[in-house]
Amino acid sequence: MGEGSGAARREGLHVHPSEDHEELRRLARRVADREIRPVAAQYDQSREFPWPVLERIHTAGLFDLQIPAPIGGAGLTAVEECIVQEELAAGCAGISLALVANTLALTPILIAGTPEQQSALLGPFTRQLRLAAFGLTEAQAGSDAGALKTRARREGDAYILDGRKRFITNGGVADLYTIFATLDGTPQGITCFAVERGTDGLSAGREERKLGIRASNTSEVVLDGVRVPAAMRIGGEGEGYRIALRTLGRSRATIAAAALGIAREALGCAVRYARERQQFSRPIAQLGAIEQMLGEMAMRVEASRLLVYQAAEHIAAGETSPLYSSMAKAFAADTAMFVAGEAVQIFGGYGYMEDYPVEKLFRDAKIYQIFEGTNQVQRMVIARTLVRGDE
């Protein structure tokens, strides 16, 4: 499953999917059907963290696909990650989000880590289930990541970190954290550090109770005098902001793929229900108003698919512009919200009830318009990239 040329990959994925891609999709779909869908509602209601399900996903070989083969990983590209995430998120976006969080947290190490750091920090993820968390967001630093207040100060051969991170996926369950802190209070001083679970002064704060994606763990991460060896600094001093932006530019395609999975699942539910539900002595699928809704939903899902995999192919080819990943993330997230909302409407009163799956899909979809950069920010990134002419 090498990267190959962009043109060849586009043809192979969208027109005649390669057998490797088809095999991976079949595997991910089997895992979603057998391991995720049967328990999705249970974990959504209980808000328990789905350790047993994640263990089975890991056993199936679907975790941390981007880790290079020399370290023991699969060494796959963003295209394959998007295939897996689309299928798993269609089963349950909350459960699949643990994989996205790992991708997000490990990418800085892939971007800027030394070979020794990559082997030491990423190698363990290839041998057993381990979770990671990306520590960028703070209470006053969401879309404006450069406003973060977590401080790092050099002390001999180590750095001391102090601050609080907010809304961190896997924050309470991670084995490894990539933490961003500023040396001088400015964006130019932001530096990235890898911090192992159990380090003195590192703890999980409040776990958030959320509208959707309830099977995922979202917590504060507290850093109180955390001593990090200089050898655990990822990249150079002051390179953290650039590393974070490059990481988000890569990971947004995977987020977009998850949103696509939600939208696809909601459309499928709506089509099946419209075939079965009788009103006015015929299936509602034969009513003109429902036909219009289903047609619009289907067009947006397929347009999202093309944007998602175009973005993934650009990333796989090593292109660093955020243009396509921002387009994919914003469009697919808006599509997930629109299609899930229309699915609820097609189900009518039943769609508003927890007994039917579209209620959960609607709740899960909303966050994709917010996290990893709001959709308003994505549109700003798109416009500025076009104006600069660096697409």
Domain ranges across the chain: 6-127, 132-238, 241-388
Over 80: is that where the pLDDT of 154 sits?
A: yes
Confidence bin at 391 (pLDDT 50/70/90) = low
Q: Given this model, what pLDDT does residue 10 score? A: 39
Is the distance from CB of 342 to CB of 293 less than 8 angstroms?
yes
Task: Quick: pLDDT tens for 109-145.
Answer: 999 999 999 999 999 999 999 999 999 999 999 888 8
Task: Quick: pLDDT tens for 294-340.
Answer: 999 999 999 999 999 999 999 999 998 999 999 999 999 999 999 99
Give the separation between CA 62 and CA 99, rounded to whole angstroms.
Answer: 9
Assess whether 296 carries a catalytic annotation: no
Over 70: is that where the pLDDT of 7 sits?
A: no
Q: Given this model, what pLDDT does residue 113 score? A: 98
Task: Quick: pLDDT tens for 241-295.
Answer: 999 999 999 999 999 999 999 999 999 999 999 999 999 999 999 999 999 999 9
Give the separation between CA 196 and CA 121, rounded to whole angstroms.
Answer: 9
Distances (CA, A) of 209 to 89, 97, 163, 251: 20, 15, 22, 24
Question: Strands, E, within the chain: which ranges?
Answer: 132-135, 151-155, 158-169, 176-182, 190-196, 202-207, 218-229, 233-234, 278-279, 282-283
Task: Quick: pLDDT tens for 353-364.
Answer: 999 999 999 999
Selected from 3.30.2350.10, 3.50.50.60, 2.60.120.1440, 2.40.110.10, the CATH number assigned to the domain covering 132-238 reads 2.40.110.10
Give the separation between CA 166 and CA 137, rounded to whole angstroms.
Answer: 6
What CATH superfamily classification does 6-127 receive?
A: Acyl-CoA dehydrogenase/oxidase, N-terminal domain (1.10.540.10)
Contacts of 120 (CB under 8 A, 6+ apart): none
Percent of the chain whose predicted confidence (pLDDT) is above 70: 95
Q: 165: which 2 tokens?
A: 């991170």
**CATH class of the structural domain 241-388:** mainly alpha
Over 70: is that where the pLDDT of 2 sits?
A: no
Q: Do domains 6-127 and 241-388 have the same CATH topology?
A: no
Helix (H, G, I), strand (E, B) or coil at 293: helix
Over 90: is that where the pLDDT of 16 sits?
A: no
Confidence bin at 8 (pLDDT 50/70/90) = very low
- The model's pTM: 0.94
Q: Could you say which of 87, 138, 239, 372 is catalytic?
A: 372
Confidence bin at 15 (pLDDT 50/70/90) = very low
